[in-house]
Amino acid sequence: MPARTLKDKVVVIGGASRNLGGLIAREIAPDGARVVVHYNSDSSRDKAEQTVADVKKAGGDAFAHQGDLTKVAEVEQLFDAAVRTFGKVDCMVNTAGMVIKKPMTETSEEEFDKMFAVNTKAAYFMMREAAKRIERDGAIVTIVTSLLAAYTGLYSVYAGSKAPVEHFARALSKELFGRNISVNNIAPGPMDTPFFYPAETDDSVAYHKSSSMNGDLTKIEDIAPYVKFLLTDGWWLNGQTLFINGGYTTR
């Protein structure tokens, strides 16, 4: 079977203005990918436009699109924009997420609803729209968390809102049989990004570091190659959650 490449493939990336999403966009650009750089808020616009510029400079093509992924109409508009601009969708990667860390007894209804909107609802409808738009021979990848395999407190609403995405991937991967579209999740360990630190203390950061094989946090550079692999030569993986975390948790 010939090697799969990203040449002229259209990849929609949720949360691509910075951190992991931005790196994935830049990593697939030299292969000639055409990238839809999603960003959420006006504060991310400049970084999204920089990602677009980086992708084009590296040999790909890209445009930026703003949208609130917790609103189904705006998810649909994101994919509409991809088809309108590039004519199709081949792959989707969703890196968007939100974390809080607190005891269940202190979690408010508002916090619960917001976490499930970002981590569960948005993931579901990003996967739904990708499945509707990709004709065949594509890939759908969602970033979840290695805490799904941890026995720990304080992350009940964070890990709990990521957990359904495992079932979403299994169900959708089965529903797409016959179209050669793989659906998988990647579960990183705690990542060394601005997303991680606000919920943690110095002591908890030290603990998270001590739980990996090299005494450090997961780097976005550790995760991006696995995403690219799932979009290309890793096509035979399907319905799986891959724990890419240096041994932070195992299942």
DSSP for 17-40, written as a single string = SSHHHHHHHHHHGGGT-EEEEEE-
Among candidate residues 66, 84, 60, 65, the one with its CA nearest the CA of residue 9: 60
Q: What is the mean pLDDT of residues 110-135?
A: 98
DSSP for 125-194, written as a single string = HHHHHHHHH--SS-EEEEE--GGGG---SS-HHHHHHHTHHHHHHHHHHHHTTTTT-EEEEEEE-SBSST
Q: What is the mean pLDDT of residues 58-80?
A: 98
Among candidate residues 127, 122, 116, 119, the one with its CA nearest the CA of residue 12: 127
- 158 in catalytic set: yes
Question: Does residue 80 fall inside a structural domain?
Answer: yes
* Tokens 């729209």 belong to residue: 129
For residue 61, give Cα distances in angstroms to 57, 67, 184.
9, 20, 25
Question: Does residue 118 fall inside a structural domain?
Answer: yes
Using 50, 70 and 90 to split pLDDT, how confident is the model at 3?
low
* Bigger pLDDT: 209 vs 118: 118
The answer to whether residue 196 scores a pLDDT higher than 70 is: yes
pLDDT at residue 193, rounded to an integer: 85
The answer to whether residue 143 scores a pLDDT higher than 60 is: yes
pLDDT at residue 176, rounded to an integer: 98
How many distinct structural domains can be found in the chain? 1
CATH code of the domain containing 144: 3.40.50.720
Pairing verdict, β 91-94 and 61-66: unpaired
Question: Does residue 4 fall inside a structural domain?
Answer: no
Question: Does residue 97 fall inside a structural domain?
Answer: yes
Instruction: Determine how many CB atoms are found less than 10 A away from the CB of residue 120.
Output: 18
The answer to whether residue 136 scores a pLDDT higher than 70 is: yes
pLDDT at residue 118, rounded to an integer: 98
Report d(CA 34, CA 40) in Å as an integer: 20
The share of the chain scoring above pLDDT 70, in percent, equals 99
Question: Does residue 131 fall inside a structural domain?
Answer: yes
- Given the residues 39, 124, 155, 158, select the one marked as catalytic: 158
Count Cα neighbours of 232 within 13 Å in the Cβ-side half-sphere.
19
**pLDDT averaged over every residue in the chain:** 96
> Who's near 228: CB < 8 A, 6+ residues apart?
6, 24, 27, 28
Question: Does residue 205 fall inside a structural domain?
Answer: yes
**Which residues constitute the domain of residue 163?**
10-244
Instruction: Determine how many CB atoms are found less than 10 A away from the CB of residue 187.
Output: 24
The rounded Cα 157 to chain-centroid distance in angstroms is 18
Which value, in Å, is the radius of gyration of the alpha carbons in the chain? 17
* Bigger pLDDT: 195 vs 2: 195
Number of residues that make up the chain: 251
Question: Does residue 31 fall inside a structural domain?
Answer: yes
The share of the chain scoring above pLDDT 90, in percent, equals 91
Count Cα neighbours of 138 within 13 Å in the Cβ-side half-sphere.
25
Residues 139, 238 contacting (CB under 8 angstroms): no
The answer to whether residue 2 scores a pLDDT higher than 70 is: no
The answer to whether residue 1 scores a pLDDT higher than 60 is: no
Q: What is the mean pLDDT of residues 18-33?
A: 97
Question: Does residue 57 fall inside a structural domain?
Answer: yes
